[in-house]
């Protein structure tokens, strides 16, 4: 990443949430979950950057954004015991506040530090702002793709029971009830993003995750989604139905349209 100062600060900051023998087990588990996620997103981000042939300076910047994109998650969980922004506070905005309070980015030029903060603040939005610079939107799209690639991995491992220390926080406390909400199904079959406010149960949450495929920005990332079988793996955890068959066809058509042969 170019500068070990950022990684050293990150490691020290995160370690502070689990220091001491009195650290609650759920805090230790969830802090580790987000630390591991952040580290993997750095790898995904740099892999996409390599595929796009970005220069070293751009890759360094991308790596810093990825490392710090979820820095607000640690304080969020420690304070509220949830990763649900609607039940606590916006973790992206909290992360920017933390970076500014700790003056983490002061070794960079003001414009680079500001760019990093703007990209982080946008990474969890339903849609990116239209009045931003091309540079900012490029990095924001890059980060959103890298973030989704690893979130899918975590979710699929969870659904397939591959984590021996399973973590209920991943499902955000949603009920595992039958059915799919129309306001979740309709956007997906129209190749659109699901709005989180329409999620009523775990099935809806899974459709929201499937719908992320329509918000992948770079072809190398979309190819990874297809080749890793993320959507198919999530579909296998849903009850068979005509609706599910339709969703799978829409996604397959999307891959065929967006990924060059």
Q: Could you tell me if 126 and 195 are in contact, meaning their C-beta atoms sit under 8 angstroms apart?
A: yes
In order of 50, 120, 184, the CA distances from 39 in angstroms are: 17, 15, 31
| pLDDT for residue 160 | 80
Residues 128 and 197 in one domain: no
Tell me, yes or no, whether 115 and 243 share the same domain. Answer: no
114 CB-near residues (< 8 Å, 6+ apart)? none
pLDDT (0 to 100) of residue 22: 77
Tokens 């979820």 belong to 70
- End-to-end distance of the chain based on CA atoms, in angstroms? 33
236 and 114 within one domain: no
Task: Taking the CA atoms of 142, 143, 149 and 150 in sequence, report the sign of the dihedral they define.
Answer: positive
Q: Which residues span the domain enclosing 138?
A: 4-143
Assigned domain for 27 exists: yes
Distances (CA, A) of 224 to 51, 215, 251: 12, 14, 14
Answer yes or no: do 112 and 235 share one domain: no
Same domain, 178 and 137: no
Whole-prediction pTM: 0.91
For residue 101, give both structure tokens: 């309070």
Inside any domain, residue 156: no
136 with 202, same domain?
A: no
Predicted pLDDT at 171: 63
**Residue count of the chain:** 261
* pLDDT tens digits in sequence order for the chain, 261 residues long: 446 899 999 999 999 999 877 788 889 989 998 999 999 999 999 999 999 999 999 999 999 999 999 999 999 999 999 888 888 999 999 999 999 999 999 999 999 999 999 999 999 998 899 999 999 999 999 999 999 999 999 889 888 875 545 556 566 667 788 889 999 999 999 999 998 888 889 899 999 999 999 999 999 999 999 999 999 999 999 999 999 999 999 999 999 999 998
Domain count, the chain: 2
CA-based angle 158:62:254, to the nearest 5?
Answer: 55
Helices 134-159, 110-122: axis angle to 10 degrees equals: 40
- CB proximity list for 31: less than 8 A, separation 6 or greater: 14, 17, 18, 74, 77, 78
**C-alpha gyration radius of the chain:** 18
């Amino acid at each position: 990443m170019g500068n070990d100062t950022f990684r050293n600060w990150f490691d020290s900051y995160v370690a502070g949430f689990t220091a001491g023998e009195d650290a609650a087990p759920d805090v230790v588990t969830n802090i580790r979950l987000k630390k591991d996620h952040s580290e993997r997103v750095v790898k995904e981000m740099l892999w996409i950057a390599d595929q796009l042939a970005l220069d070293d300076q751009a890759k360094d910047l991308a790596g810093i954004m990825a490392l710090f994109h979820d820095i607000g998650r640690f304080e969020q969980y420690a304070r509220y015991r949830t990763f649900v922004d609607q039940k606590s506070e916006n973790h992206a905005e909290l992360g920017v506040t933390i970076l500014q309070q700790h003056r983490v980015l002061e070794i960079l030029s003001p414009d680079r530090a500001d760019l990093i903060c703007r990209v982080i603040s946008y990474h969890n939005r339903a849609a990116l702002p239209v009045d931003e610079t091309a540079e900012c939107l490029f990095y924001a799209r890059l980060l959103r793709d890298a973030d989704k690639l690893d979130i899918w991995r975590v979710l699929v491992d969870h659904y397939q029971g591959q984590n021996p220390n399973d973590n209920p926080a991943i499902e955000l406390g949603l009920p595992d009830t039958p059915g799919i909400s129309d306001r979740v199904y309709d956007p997906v079959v129209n190749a659109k993003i699901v709005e989180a406010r329409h999620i009523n149960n775990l099935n809806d949450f899974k459709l929201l995750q499937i719908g992320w495929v329509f918000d992948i920005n770079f072809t190398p990332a979309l190819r990874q989604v297809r080749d890793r079988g993320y959507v198919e793996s999530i579909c296998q955890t849903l009850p068979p139905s005509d609706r599910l068959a339709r969703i799978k066809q829409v996604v397959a058509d999307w891959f065929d349209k967006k990924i060059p042969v």
